[in-house]
Chain A
Amino acid sequence: TQLLEQSPQFLSIQEGENLTVYCNSSSVFSSLQWYRQEPGEGPVLLVTVVTGGEVKKLKRLTFQFGDARKDSSLHITAAQPGDTGLYLCAGAGGAGGTSYGKLTFGQGTILTVHP
């Protein structure tokens, strides 16, 4: 069974601060996804990383996939109250490329950004 350990579980910061969320596993994943979830809604995909060492940027969010494809991080620069939400990492381990919708999720990080 593949496991993803996500940390920290809770993060409470002031507007303008930087933060990093980590996602670690002992297993290799073919790709790693990051989702954001608002209360009462389903997760929404932010980014997918597929190559070891890959870095992707989405405005103030930077996503990195570890060289060995076992870990990933999400860094937010100058956080804003609108960044508040639950952030989830998810790994896809399909040998043939696709996981057919079968993802392994981390426990999630609840981020609160205070004005």
Chain B
Amino acid sequence: NAGVTQTPKFQVLKTGQSMTLQCAQDMNHEYMSWYRQDPGMGLRLIHYSVGAGITDQGEVPNGYNVSRSTTEDFPLRLLSAAPSQTSVYFCASSYSFGLYEKLFFGSGTQLSVL
């Protein structure tokens, strides 16, 4: 039972480099989202998607792009990495029934930008 799979687990980039963080889910969930986690700040929403072809910005979208061509995949692109993007990144997929919503998180990507 894979759930939400994130790759890579660890990544080191130099300032200015670009890269894509991969996220795939096998639960056929409509909603997917990307969060970053920094010490003492909880998780902050970067981008989210309510279905294939539909994405929108979250709280901290600058410097990141997303696309969702299929229900399963929701990659996060760093266009030109900056030290401020050093963080742990979590992808989540979710479903809802009424007011109850359940998010399933991947195990995260730890990114360091030098």
Known: A42-B107, A100-B31. A107 touches B40 (CB 8 A): yes
Known: A50-B100, A97-B96. A40 touches B108 (CB 8 A): yes
Listed by A's residue number, 11 A-B pairs whose Cβ atoms lie within 8 Å are A6-B42, A41-B107, A50-B99, A88-B43, A97-B96, A100-B50, A101-B33, A101-B94, A104-B45, A106-B42, A108-B40
Closest to A45 in B: B102
The answer on a CB contact under 8 Å between A102 and B45 is: yes
Q: B1-40: which have CB < 8 Å to A?
A: 4, 31-33, 35, 40
A residues contacting B by CB (< 8 A) are: 1, 4, 6, 9, 30-31, 33, 40-45, 48, 50, 88, 90, 92, 97-108
The answer on a CB contact under 8 Å between A103 and B103 is: yes
The answer on a CB contact under 8 Å between B42 and A99 is: no
**What chain B residues lie within 8 Å of A99 (beta carbons)?**
96, 101
Cα A6 to Cα B31 with chains together (Å): 26
The answer on a CB contact under 8 Å between A88 and B42 is: yes
Cα A107 to Cα B99 with chains together (Å): 23
Could you say which of A4, A30, A105, A108 contacts B99, with CB atoms under 8 Å apart? Answer: A30
Could you say which of A6, A40, A106 contacts B107, with CB atoms under 8 Å apart? Answer: A40
